[in-house]
Amino acid sequence: MSTTDDEGRSLSIIYATETGNAQDAADYIARQCRRIGFQCRITSVDAFSLPDLLSENIVVFVVSTTGSGVEPRAMTPFWTNLLRGDLPPDTFEDLFFSVFGLGDTAYEKFCWAAKKLSRRLESLGASEFYVRGEGDEQHPLGIDGALEPWADGLLNTLLEISPLPAGIEITSANTLSPARVSLTATSQSAPELSDPLKSDLQYHAAVVKTNDRITAADWYQDVRHLEFDLEDNIQYDPGDVAVIHPSASSANVASFLSTMNWADTADQPFEISQSMQDQSLPDHLPKMTTLRILFTRFLDFNAVPRRSFFQFIRHFTSDELEREKLDEFLSQAGADELYEYCHRVRRTTHEVLAEFRHVKIPRDYIFDVFPPLRPREFSIASSVKKHPHQIHLCVAIVKYRTKLKVPRKGVCTSYLSTLKPGDTLLIGIKKGLIKLPAKNDTPVICVGPGTGIAPMRSVIEQRISSGSHSNTLYFGCRSASQDQHYGSEWHGYSSSQHLHYRAAFSRDGPEGEKRTYVQDLIRQDAEQIWRLVGEHKGWLLISGSSNKMPAAVKDAVAFAAEKHGGYSAEEARKYVDLMVREGRLIEECWS
């Protein structure tokens, strides 16, 4: 592949994401490609079809991974079509592609969706023109730790493929990129803060019915049970997720606007025009708005800033000492210092700007400097069969301390914690990863420690409402009396013979004794576990933290297969893998 025509100096960047990180990475890649004269088109994979791919020449895919190596939900239709057996091996013989994966090494199948996509495209004749990159959330600098050096290599390869035309020079990496929008003051009256989701049919009006703390009042963690009433005839399945757009508190917004010296103009309306089409904007963004509205609903000033934030603000400070410090942060030698200053203590964008007092951000650059305030997703903790017109959530309110004086708080969980009965909001519904067997008499084993209990409550309610008695729940927490979420419900179902309930309370044992976790109970119950998943072909559903728990649970099931199924250790592991391939073992886990 070697060309210098207009087509050869353009490419498409297709992103597939759950959290928005892939979209941010796609924006960064497009900015870098623009430096060497390439025109970029960015689109989400759910707006991109297989026939579209046939007409592409150069494509960069940016793909995150969910659950147990599963592609993002938005990518599922595209991926399903890509797996069609009738596609000839030369389907994409004219396609040159590269993939950057986003993942977390805390998960067992790191960047699995990106790896699968690379292999499948090559099997259909496409050529990988640049080596796959893999960003790790566990890196001290997050995804940027791998993205930036990978993007540098991508640019070099693109220049080899398509050298710079005469008269065009490479833009320095230190050059300020053009703003992605222009803001124009308008004489129209300021718009009211109406919810921009009202016109989106995927969202439903909800009224808060209950917002109760379900952990003990003196317990270190505040976990809430929330119930919402909805007029719409909503339908969802166990494992589906509720999508909630948070709002920053008015006090926090006012404080931030004061820090930025924008308080006097915070309510002056302006119109937004997109200048750079290869850069994304927040969803549901109105054409006319104010700074106060933007930083309440659309832009996140409480996020931990990425390196690109510091790259931008070094252009906007009038103080030489501040610029020197920012240059030091951005240097290769200063990476550790940036980590200590920012990422390790989870310092927010607002806090950084409060310290770098000479930074004056031009209004047109606010969408470049500040990340979108994206919606958050929570597993639904109820069955619509038992609770029609309702959605229940089980949410841990994020609040923790670092070396900084002010505690760190989650934007969305803080928003949810303030909701009172009668308050209204809009809630979206998305398909989850969990599925249920078609037959009610097929055994289902649910493993859901902590707030991983949320989708399991939905599963169990649905199964019991459908007449099933073959249900087992393994729940884990620290203390039976402090954080046993929905304990009275599980004991009630157990008494009525609808549920076999096993709970591990890791801190309730005698001091100094080995702690007991859900995987330990599964090993203790190995004979019964094998009877359910081996002899009766039962299903295993795992939800919760993605640290060591999911792998330990699968090891415990393999132990049961070896001890009571007559398998060798290797055959037992293969049996667990077979359960995954058959769809009888499903993980809905997060880091």
Ordered domains of the chain (ranges, CATH): 10-161 (3.40.50.360), 196-244+375-430 (2.40.30.10), 250-369 (1.20.990.10), 444-589 (3.40.50.80)
For residue 92, give every residue at least 6 positions away whose Cβ sits within 8 Å of its Cβ, in sequence order, or none.
Answer: 53, 54, 121, 124, 125, 126
Enumerate the known binding-site residues for NADP(+): 451, 506-507, 515-519
Give the pLDDT of residue 5: 46
Burial class (CB in 10 A: 0-12, 13-18, 19+), 90: exposed
**CA separation for the pair 297, 16 (Å, rounded):** 23
Q: Tell me how many helices (H) and strands (E) the chain has.
A: 19, 22
Give the pLDDT of residue 4: 41
Enumerate the known binding-site residues for FMN: 17-22, 64-67, 137
Residue among 24, 133, 129, 116 nearest 78 (CA): 116
Radius of gyration of the chain (CA): 26
What does the DSSP 8-state code read for residue 75?
G
**CA separation for the pair 116, 69 (Å, rounded):** 9
**What sign does the dihedral 102-104-107-109 (CA atoms) show?**
positive
CA separation (Å) from 188 to 89, 289, 339, 587? Answer: 58, 10, 45, 51
Residue 583's φ and ψ, nearest 5 degrees, are 80, 15
Burial class (CB in 10 A: 0-12, 13-18, 19+), 529: buried
- Beta strands 270-274 and 181-185 are antiparallel
Residue identified by tokens 């870098």 is: 32
pLDDT in tens, the chain (591 residues): 544 445 568 999 999 987 778 999 999 999 999 999 999 999 999 888 889 999 999 999 999 987 667 788 889 889 999 999 999 999 999 999 999 999 888 777 889 999 999 999 999 999 999 999 999 988 888 889 999 999 999 999 999 989 988 878 888 888 999 999 999 998 776 555 456 677 777 899 999 999 999 999 999 999 999 999 999 999 999 999 999 999 999 999 999 999 999 999 999 999 999 999 899 999 889 889 999 999 999 999 999 999 999 999 999 999 999 999 999 999 989 999 999 999 999 999 999 999 999 999 999 999 999 999 999 999 999 999 999 999 999 999 999 999 998 999 999 999 999 999 999 999 999 988 899 999 999 999 999 999 999 999 999 999 999 999 999 999 999 999 999 999 999 999 999 999 999 999 998 877 778 899 999 999 999 999 999 999 999 999 999 876 789 999 999 999 999 999 999 999 999 999 999 999 999 988 776
The two structure tokens encoding residue 264 = 């006097």
For residue 344, give every residue at least 6 positions away whose Cβ sits within 8 Å of its Cβ, in sequence order, or none.
Answer: 140, 402, 403
Predicted TM-score (pTM) above 0.75? yes
- Torsion angle, alpha carbons of 567, 571, 573, 577, to 10: -120
**CA separation for the pair 477, 505 (Å, rounded):** 5
The two structure tokens encoding residue 58 = 């150069």
Q: Where are the beta strands (DSSP E) in 73-154?
A: 96-103, 127-128, 133-136
Enumerate the known binding-site residues: 17-22, 64-67, 137, 346, 376-379, 410-413, 451, 506-507, 515-519, 590
The total of other beta-carbon atoms located within 10 Å of residue 286's CB is 15
- Beta strands 408-409 and 270-274 are unpaired
DSSP string, 347-388: --HHHHHHHSTTB---GGGHHHHSPB---EEEEB-S-TTTST
Give the pLDDT of residue 8: 60
Residue among 442, 441, 427 nearest 393 (CA): 427
The total of other beta-carbon atoms located within 10 Å of residue 262's CB is 17
